[in-house]
Amino acid sequence: MQRASNRTVTVDLTYGDEYFGQLGPFEADLGWWSSVDGVVARATELAGAPVLVARLVEGHSEEPGHGGRVRYHAEALSRPTMPSAGAPDAGTAVLLGPAERRAAWATPAGLRAALDWAREELAAAGRPLAAPARQIRTWNLSGLFRLPTATGADAWLKTTTSAFNARESEVIALLGGVDRTLVPTVLAADPAGGRLLLDHVPGEDCWSPSAGTVAEVVPRLVAAQAALAARPGDLAGLRDRTPRALAAQLTALLDRLPEETDLTAGELDRLAGFAAALPGLLDRLAACGLPETLLHGDFHPGNWRSDGVNPVVVDYADSCLGHPALDGLRPRAYLAPEAWRHHARVWTEAWRRHVPGSDPERALELAEPLYHLSYALRYQEFLDHIEPSERPYHEGDPAAELRAVLACGAAGRPT
């Protein structure tokens, strides 16, 4: 399916306790529901006041999370110039009302609190805001704002839910202690509140990385992971996604699958067989000799940024303790076959240098079903922690990844 380049947007506008009706419908560039930069710009124009998107209210598309018709709740930061406020209808009042598991930044008060925190931290760092924050992205996993500062160098505010995400500032500190140039600079952090203030990383996201970029980024991450593997005490606070932890989590998930997915009885039986055979697979993977260590958790090339001089790896919300082959496999879904083969060669050669006698190529093969299992569990974790209106982003993902597990052969390679 070709992805839509835009979406049709309607915005429910509030200002404090007042409701100002709907803006739109209008067309917004970029099909991704979480991309709200263009939505904010158009809603601000229509409202006659600066506006920020609080959250997705509902979305309808053949490809959930992208294109189609989308409805947002937005908060005006000053009184709109629109006609006077009125009461929403009963259905809208329910949609805009409180919901269990709503992200802190997905409310008007939460938005203001996060931006106030960032403003105060920047001022304390001698880099006061020079213009209003620009909202780039918001969804159940994170909010992202670009902050122009008086020094001329932008900063970025990222908000996440600490209940199911890594403490990114601590992960960055661990990696930065080994390779300072591999990670972005943290300006301030509030781990308990899920707030992170970062210095701008120049360059572009490396969605189509050159062979040279792969040869630069991948060995540096491997070197850092190898160094941190020798310091297990420093990794004790990471979420446990080691192979044996994944096996235990699958056992717990299997009890829920009949009611929460569309997996067939035959597929469920095969998953039970996979779970029973997992101990042998884990033993074979351990025999490859690679150490458990800090994982990025989402090491696709879109999370690499490069200015042509120094690539930097960003976005550590999924970081955990686990087997490095899971990071090694992540770029494959984003690379053409020849580019993937080059990446795999670079990754395996790097691990052989750091762990002589190991078999990283075999580890990539064996880890394939665990890779899909880890994402099935992660997507289920998302669903367990987000409000109902956000579920279209991820519903079906756990079952899709578990079907990918079943599509792997005995050696781990896809059949």
Per-residue pLDDT reduced to its tens digit, 184-239: 999 999 999 999 999 999 999 999 999 999 999 999 999 999 999 999 999 999 99
What is the per-residue pLDDT for 86? 86
Q: How far apart are CA 278 and CA 263, in angstroms?
A: 20
What is the per-residue pLDDT for 410? 47
What is the per-residue pLDDT for 187? 98
Q: Running DSSP on this structure, what letter comes out for residue 197?
A: E
For 338, list phi and psi in degrees, rounded to 5: -65, -40
| 66 DSSP β-pair partners | 32, 63
The domains found in the chain, sorted by start residue, are: 6-97 (no CATH), 106-199 (3.30.200.20), 204-406 (3.90.1200.10)
What is the per-residue pLDDT for 64? 85
What is the per-residue pLDDT for 415? 35
What is the per-residue pLDDT for 4? 67
What is the per-residue pLDDT for 2? 53
What is the per-residue pLDDT for 259? 87
Residue of 223, 196, 258, 296 whose CA lies nearest to 398: 258
The pTM (predicted TM-score) of the whole model is: 0.94
Amino acid letter, 289: G
Which CA distances in Å does 288 have to 318, 324, 357, 362, 412? 25, 12, 9, 7, 13
Q: Which residues of the chain have pLDDT under 50?
A: 1, 410-415
- Quick one: which H or E segment has residue 69? strand 69-76
DSSP string for residues in 332-383:
GGGS-HHHHHHHHHHHHHHHHHHSTT--HHHHHHHTHHHHHHHHHHHHHHHH
Q: How far apart are CA 396 and CA 413, in angstroms?
A: 23
8 Å CB contact between 28 and 91: no
